[in-house]
């Protein structure tokens, strides 16, 4: 980690001391379901539907016992029907292969239908307290703009962040970058003028040096 990256992480930590998951859940099963529902859906919307889901299907076994058509009316405001199918199928596999307990390894989690590396990292971090950096659209965009990473895909970004950020801060840094992406460093029209990181940001300072600042950012 160089001095600039160290300073960026310090400012992020100071700016977002309360950064934490915005999804509501209380155990690994609920975490898995909520994170699966959150793909391409706002956390606030997921939080609206999960109370009824967790009330009527409170554990892996009850979710594995229904079919996707039963779940879909509960979650249709969160997107595609395939999410219902994946959640039910994942719970059936957890019953069949993992004794009804949500697994706690990357390999096992990503063997579940509809669970990719990002979802698995969130579950490992928030449900099991493991150090993990889940790279979603905000983490990818913000970390590459800032210069914490220099990658064109999420896997390389995750690996670079794991090298730059101390392991004890991986989970927190994931939330710092999401908060910064949502509140300041939006995909379009980031608020660079008021950004506490603008003196350190690779993207901002590169654009400042250009004769004509581009209208749209590359990430």
> Which residues bind to ligand SF4, rule: CB under 6 A?
145-146, 184-185, 190-192, 195, 197-198, 201, 203-204
Which listed residue (20, 48, 56, 118) is catalytic? 118
Closest distance of CB 169 from ligand SF4, Å: 18
Taking the alpha carbons of 103, 104, 110, 114 in that order, is the dihedral positive or negative?
Answer: positive
Tell me 21's DSSP state. Answer: -
Ramachandran angles phi, psi of 143, nearest 5°: -65, -35
Tokens of 187: 């995909």
Q: Note whether 17 and 172 are within 8 A (CB).
A: no
Q: How far is the CB of 13 from ligand SF4 (least distance, A)?
A: 15
Of 136, 152, 191, 203, catalytic: 136
- 135 vs 201, which CB is nearer to ligand SF4? 201
72: left (phi over 0), alpha (psi -120 to 50) or beta: alpha
Residue 70 Cβ vs ligand SF4, minimum distance, rounded to whole Å: 43
Closer Cβ to ligand SF4, 7 or 41, answer by number: 7
* Residue number with CB closer to ligand SF4 (89 or 198): 198
Q: At what angle do helices 170-183 and 3-15 cross, to 10 degrees?
A: 70
* Least Cβ distance, residue 22 to ligand SF4 (angstroms): 20
Verify whether residue 18 is a known catalytic residue.
no
DSSP single-letter state for residue 72: H
Work out how close the CB of 174 gets to ligand SF4 at its nearest, in angstroms, rounded to a whole number.
16
> Which two tokens mark 164?
């730059």
- Distance (Å, whole) CA 175 – CA 183: 12
- If one counts every other C-beta atom within 10 angstroms of the C-beta of residue 112, the result is 25
Examine the residue annotation and report whether 202 is marked as an active-site residue of this protein: no
Q: Considering beta carbons, is residue 158 or 203 the nearer one to ligand SF4?
A: 203
The nearer residue to ligand SF4, 103 or 181, going by C-beta atoms, is 181
Report the C-alpha gap between 182 and 196 in whole angstroms.
Answer: 14
The catalytic residue positions are 118, 136
């Amino acid at each position: 980690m160089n001095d600039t990256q160290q300073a960026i992480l310090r400012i992020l930590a100071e700016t977002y001391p309360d950064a934490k998951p915005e999804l509501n859940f209380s155990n690994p099963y609920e975490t898995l379901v909520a994170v699966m529902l959150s793909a391409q859906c706002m956390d606030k919307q997921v939080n609206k539907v999960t109370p009824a889901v967790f009330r009527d299907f409170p554990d892996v076994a009850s979710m594995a016992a229904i079919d996707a058509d039963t779940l879909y009316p509960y979650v249709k405001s969160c997107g595609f029907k395939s999410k219902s199918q994946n959640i039910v199928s994942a719970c059936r596999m957890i019953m069949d292969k993992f004794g009804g307990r949500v697994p706690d390894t990357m390999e096992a989690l990503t063997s579940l239908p509809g669970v990719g590396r990002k979802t698995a990292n969130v579950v490992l971090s928030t449900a099991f307290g493991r150090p993990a950096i889940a790279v979603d659209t905000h983490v990818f965009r913000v970390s590459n703009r800032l210069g914490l990473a220099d990658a064109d895909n999420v896997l390389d970004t995750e690996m670079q962040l794991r090298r730059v950020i101390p392991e004890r801060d991986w989970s927190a840094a994931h939330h710092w970058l999401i908060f910064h992406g949502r509140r300041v460093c939006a995909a379009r029209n980031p608020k660079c003028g008021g950004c506490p990181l603008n003196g350190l940001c690779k993207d901002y300072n590169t654009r400042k040096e250009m004769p004509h600042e581009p209208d749209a950012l590359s990430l």
